Amino acid sequence: MLRPIEWVGDTDGHLRLLDQTRLPATTEYIDCTDVDTVWHAIKRLSVRGAPAIGISAAYGCVIGARNNQLDEAIAHLRTSRPTAVNLFWALDRIAALKTTDPQRILDEAHAIADEDDAMCRSIGRHALALIDSLTAKAPDRPLRLITHCNAGKLATGGIGTATAAAYLAKEQGRDVTVYADETRPLLQGARLTAFELTDAGIDVRLICDGAASEVLRAGAVDAAIVGADRIAANGDTANKVGTCGLASLARHHGIPFLVAAPHSTFDLNTATGNAIPIEERAAEEVTEGFGTRTAPPDVRVFNPAFDITPANLITAIVTDQGVIRPVSEAAVRDHLAVDTEP
């Protein structure tokens, strides 16, 4: 499988990012030798997905420190995208080192990446056990899921968050089917999730976002599972726009709706989803995505990149530490009070 993020070399090296805007047609890498190139790669979604953004920013700090501009690098990278809290979490973690030594910062960036890898597997174990128990299924039965956007290998340092249960079930020899919402307007589900799951030999059914209701009504999946960009203290969750619609449908059809995220995605300083900043992106993503004009020239557009799923629509949040269920502020705070360092 293609590696979304790689640090090439030692402290004099550079950050190599897979340009995800070109997938699945073209495999192209961006070699980042200055902080601004990292900033642009995050901004234009060449690297995307909350954990991957955090990891990339941490590596960007190595370049900043090397040029004696660590504080400037941290301040600049903080402005790249507003919603995924993993970005700020990773930059705060670098700042907390209180050093400008590029080697020490590179070690920390590697640690952030390695920990994310471990957290993904842990999330997968907890998620698979939860799904089997919620659906009262024998552990060797087929696993049938629906997901939105891409919270997979391409979005993390490991096997993904929302996709982790599917990868682990596949490793165990189980039959796995994942319905992937195409995810308007930038098609992360079609271009990225369908791509990486197919690469892993997992049976993928790509659907238009609007077809999710029909999939759920037909009883074709056991659970819906998505990633998160930021989880507020009360469990309200920001994720790719369209997630709340899927959660509402899952509630309507009596299907468990699960959010899978590492502890770096929680923001206890944000009380509820209403306080989470939602990125608004260019109108052209909607009116002429991928180069074809599909709307009248003067139409006004609203293009939020994320939405908020209220905690009461979430059956459970699965983290690297276990399961939060039911989802409430007390349960979230309790869960994170344990030592979350792997």
What mask of x and - would describe binding to ligand MRU in positions 188 to 217, judged by CB under 6 A? x-----------------------------
Q: Write down the least CB distance from residue 239 to ligand MRU, Å.
A: 5
C-alpha distances in Å from residue 44, one per residue of 15, 24, 37, 260 = 16, 16, 11, 24
Annotated catalytic residue, options 132, 181, 222, 229: 229
Q: Does 51 interact with ligand MRU (rule: CB under 6 A)?
A: yes
For residue 317, the one-letter residue type is I
Please say whether the beta carbons of 115 and 58 come within 8 A.
no
229 catalytic per annotation: yes
Q: 145 is written with which tokens?
A: 């899921």
Of the residues 156, 193, 234, 319, which one makes contact with ligand MRU according to CB under 6 A: 156
Q: 181 is written with which tokens?
A: 């919402």
239 annotated as ligand-binding: yes
Residue nearest to ligand MRU as judged by C-beta position:
227
Q: How many residues bind ligand MRU (CB under 6 A)?
A: 18
Q: Write down the least CB distance from residue 234 to ligand MRU, Å.
A: 19
Q: Which C-beta is closer to ligand MRU: that of 112 or that of 151? A: 151
Please say whether the beta carbons of 123 and 318 come within 8 A.
yes
Q: Does 46 interact with ligand MRU (rule: CB under 6 A)?
A: no
Q: Write down the least CB distance from residue 101 to ligand MRU, Å.
A: 30
Of the residues 80, 239, 270, 315, which one makes contact with ligand MRU according to CB under 6 A: 239
Of the residues 240, 267, 307, 318, which one makes contact with ligand MRU according to CB under 6 A: 240
81 annotated as ligand-binding: yes
Tell me the residue ranges of DSSP E strands in the chain.
5-8, 14-18, 29-32, 143-147, 176-181, 203-207, 223-226, 230-232, 237-240, 257-260, 266-267, 306-309, 316-319, 322-324
CA distance 278 to 310: 14
Q: Does 149 interact with ligand MRU (rule: CB under 6 A)?
A: yes
**Binding to ligand MRU, residues 71-130 (CB under 6 A):** 84
C-alpha distances in Å from residue 92, one per residue of 9, 20, 196 = 24, 26, 31
Radius of gyration of the chain (CA): 19
CA distance 233 to 311: 10
Q: Tell me the catalytic residues.
A: 229
The binding site comprises 48-50, 81, 188, 239-240
Residues making up the annotated binding site for substrate are 48-50, 81, 188, 239-240
Residues that bind ligand MRU (CB under 6 A): 45, 48-51, 84, 149, 151, 155-156, 161, 188, 227-229, 239-240, 305
